[in-house]
């Protein structure tokens, strides 16, 4: 049967998890860059023109098996975000890590979205890092975001979307070192002043007040307090009697 002379033109679409524009050609998504940008619309027109010229054939840049050698960074990002959307979930809701991944990948797609995955090397990764530095992010945040980008490429290797030597080269980029780079350091996290804690103790439930006092005495993290069990506390008589009507915990050195 001859091909239709008036084929239905695939639509310019929005891939919401990644924020990218896409077009589906013969059941396969092709990513065009950030949605709504002139560049992505121009890329859409190019892909559609080639599709029409080849009578619904897949664009030449994706011919064959869609191998890692011809895949672009935006395609890798979109595939990873589809995975992350189901992986980074707790109690039916996306975790903060999913949002952190999106923040880390934003400068990557802005700068190198249309770059072939196989061509993305250490210099490109350092350019993405420089964009973060120019955005005045602190050193620790930048290092964490670069590690998330590397995690995407590692996942890509595992799923045969990225050549293994590409990941190996990205791992050579050292983290920014304290005191050895001209990057802003985060302000140290300081304890809450005790004069602000006392009024809170009067408003919360006795159990919560006991947990707060326990943190003051031991320096425990909130998660550690939540996980502590009665068997983790030495309540033997060698430490004296315990007033069980006192909501303040009896803590001894080494018992936390």
**How far, CA to CA in Å, does 5 sit from each of 25, 45, 49, 58, 142?**
17, 19, 14, 17, 52
Residue with token string 């001859």: 2
CB atoms under 10 Å from CB of 86, counted, come to 8
Please state the pTM of the whole predicted model: 0.61
Assess whether 58 and 77 both reside in one domain.
no
- pLDDT above 90 covers a percentage of the chain that reads 40
Q: How many secondary structure helices (H) and strands (E) does the chain include?
A: 9, 5
Q: Is residue 79 in some structural domain? A: yes
Assess whether 255 and 222 both reside in one domain.
yes
What is the residue range of 25's domain? 13-62
Residues 68, 156 contacting (CB under 8 angstroms): yes
Please, which pLDDT band fits residue 246 given cuts at 50, 70 and 90?
Answer: low
Assess whether 163 and 198 both reside in one domain.
no
Last residue of a domain, one of 29, 62, 95: 62
Q: Among 12-21, 124-133, 141-150, where is mean pLDDT lowest?
A: 12-21
Assess whether 77 and 166 both reside in one domain.
yes
Q: Is residue 1 in some structural domain? A: no
Q: Is residue 3 in some structural domain? A: no
pLDDT tens-digit readout, 77-132: 999 999 999 999 999 999 999 999 999 999 999 999 989 999 999 999 999 999 99
Assess whether 139 and 120 both reside in one domain.
yes
33: left (phi over 0), alpha (psi -120 to 50) or beta: left
Assess whether 158 and 93 both reside in one domain.
yes
Q: Is residue 87 in some structural domain? A: yes
Domain total of the chain: 3
Q: Is residue 37 in some structural domain? A: yes
Assess whether 53 and 78 both reside in one domain.
no
């Amino acid at each position: 049967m001859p091909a239709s002379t008036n084929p239905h033109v695939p639509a310019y679409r929005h891939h919401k998890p990644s924020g990218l524009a896409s077009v589906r050609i013969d059941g396969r998504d092709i990513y065009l860059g950030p949605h709504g940008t002139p560049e992505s619309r121009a890329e859409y027109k190019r892909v559609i023109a080639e599709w029409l010229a080849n009578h619904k054939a897949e664009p030449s840049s994706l011919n064959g098996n869609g191998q890692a050698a011809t895949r672009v960074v935006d395609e890798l990002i979109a595939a990873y975000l589809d995975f992350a959307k189901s992986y980074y979930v707790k109690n039916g809701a996306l975790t903060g890590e999913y949002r952190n991944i999106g923040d880390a990948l934003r400068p990557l797609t802005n700068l190198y979205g249309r770059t072939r995955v196989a061509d993305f090397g250490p210099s490109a990764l350092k350019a993405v890092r420089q964009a973060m530095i120019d955005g005045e992010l602190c050193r620790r945040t930048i290092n964490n975001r670069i590690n998330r980008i590397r995690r995407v490429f590692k996942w890509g290797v595992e799923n045969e979307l990225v050549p293994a030597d590409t990941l190996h080269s990205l791992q050579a980029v050292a983290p920014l070192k304290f005191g050895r780079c001209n990057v802003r350091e985060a302000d140290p996290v300081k304890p809450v002043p005790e004069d602000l804690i006392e009024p809170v103790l009067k408003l919360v439930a006795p159990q919560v007040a006991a947990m707060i006092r326990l943190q003051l005495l031991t320096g425990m993290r909130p998660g550690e307090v939540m996980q502590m069990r009665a068997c983790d506390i030495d309540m033997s008589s060698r430490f004296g009697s315990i007033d069980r009507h006192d909501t303040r915990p009896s803590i001894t050195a080494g018992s936390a």
